[in-house]
Structure 1
């Protein structure tokens, strides 16, 4: 009996195309109250396209069991994003070079002009009524709206004030510098990721020997800055693959960055390590000078 009841409720959720964990749970509990039964739904989790429902019985609330069902999907052609061609707006926005960071009012106005050209008033109305444009604490642009099933959808457009650098240019420069500085072939990987780092342009991941650049940051920096960051990450790669200390706080890393002429990390720990390195270098020079004086006095 429980199985049939839960199957009935889950089918409603499937038909509505709900996939958000919070929305799915809220809807199941709402349906549980709407269609009276001895079965009580306590909680649900969405994991890898499946919903796990935790339920019990009014007569035996301590006996908790689980029921699983595969989540449904809203057909692409029936989504607001597809009907209003929001991906085309995003692509146009991303490829536009600007004088500076656009204001929220400008971004909202720009997307509304695009949406208002659509003749589908139903989807247009839903989008406009639920639209919210804001900056995350990191500075990333978020365009938020609701689909018909109540799920929140996000667009994360990228603004550019520079043309940016292609992946091919990064690989060419990395290979050239690796040969110049260390007489070895660059065997690592470079890739762009849709991750917004507030202070970092690129990051080296030692496990995969990959240098990742933020696609969001790429178009906001000059070529000189991007290439300088690439060399910094190459130092990480070279030292790591050579079995040496390669972290920002390691003296060996700081020394190699200074040798090849790239910038150091702005992170507090890295800057503190640089100051300590300078102190140790001064002490070392003083000791060498004292040694020379002792030799002269003999």
Structure 2
């Protein structure tokens, strides 16, 4: 698989996607770990004061997937980031999040809650990324 992108490649892709969809650069951080997550593929972590805005990914998890799949996970997390920075509800089951994922073509999480919200708000179920909900 070729999903084990470098940090530089992830930042370049994040900036490209952010410019395309929102006309801005990605201003958060991306952290690559070596932890072999079992229940997540990526996550967006933040603090309420907005000092931390971080997309976390695992090299070991990414290596199991294709480049396209990893970039889909990144786009999903970028939707969390963008809505968060705009003060818009950004959890997987928020209607605003589902609508923005649909608009930009980002995959949905496989959690029951996220899948239900996707169906409820017009998204296609089982559309890709599988990660846990953002940390508050």
TM-score normalised by structure 1 residue count? 0.38
Are residues 1:164 and 2:4 paired?
A: yes
Post-superposition offset of 1:163: 6.2
Are residues 1:187 and 2:27 paired?
A: yes
Are residues 1:225 and 2:65 paired?
A: no
* Distance (whole Å) between structure 1 residues aligned to residue 44 and residue 16 of structure 2: 18
> Larger Cα Rg: Structure 1 or Structure 2?
1
* Distance (whole Å) between structure 2 residues aligned to residue 167 and residue 246 of structure 1: 24
Kindly report which structure 2 residues correspond to 1:88-99, keeping only aligned pairs within 5 A, or say none. Answer: none
* Distance (whole Å) between structure 2 residues aligned to residue 241 and residue 278 of structure 1: 24
Aligned residue number for residue 242 of structure 1: 86
Give the SS at the match of 1:205: strand
Kindly report which structure 2 residues correspond to 1:77-88, keeping only aligned pairs within 5 A, or say none. Answer: none
2:37 to 197, 205, 217: 197
Is the CA contact 2:3–2:68 (under 8 Å) kept in the aligned structure 1?
no
1:265 to 106, 109, 113: 109
* Distance (whole Å) between structure 1 residues aligned to residue 3 and residue 15 of structure 2: 22
Post-superposition offset of 1:273: 1.2
The one of the two structures with greater contact order (alpha-carbon pairs below 8 A, sep at least 6) is 2
TM-score normalised by structure 2 residue count? 0.82
Alignment size in residue pairs: 119
Q: Which runs of 5+ in 2 are unaligned?
A: 124-136
RMSD over aligned Cα, in angstroms? 1.6
2:118 to 258, 262, 274: 274
Q: Which has the higher strand share?
A: 1
Q: Which has the higher helix share?
A: 1
Aligned residue number for residue 54 of structure 2: 210
* Distance (whole Å) between structure 1 residues aligned to residue 85 and residue 62 of structure 2: 26
* Distance (whole Å) between structure 1 residues aligned to residue 79 and residue 61 of structure 2: 21
